[in-house]
Amino acid sequence: MAGAETADTNDAELSEVHADRDALRRDEENRWTAIDQLILNGIRIRAIKQIREEFGGGIHGALDMLVGRYDRLRLERPDEFAQDHESYWSNFYS
């Protein structure tokens, strides 16, 4: 009987951990929603500013996050970009 109760407790704890993880993922995605629109529209400087405000850190870290998010969006939502890849990064030096 104790083994069954332990298994039920473990299953409940595991379910709670999964629910917490899913909530954190949703929160993380919500934090990116407005920034994603800036990235998709090619408004890079404001996107960097928003990343710093939302996640903290310096300019170099925010630029790394911008590039990472850009790459992800290019894979997941390529048709939503206002510019092609070459135009997006032209005249942008870091």
- The residue that leads in pLDDT, 67 or 21, is 67
Residue ranges per structural domain of the chain: 2-89
Q: What is the DSSP letter of 93?
A: -
pLDDT, averaged across the chain: 86
Q: At what angle do helices 44-55 and 59-76 cross, to 10 degrees?
A: 110
pLDDT score of 75: 97
Q: Quick one: pLDDT at residue 62?
A: 97
Q: Which phi and psi (to 5°) does residue 58 adopt?
A: -95, -175
**Contact of 42 with 88, CB cutoff 8 Å:** yes
* 43 close to 84: Cβ distance less than 8 angstroms: no
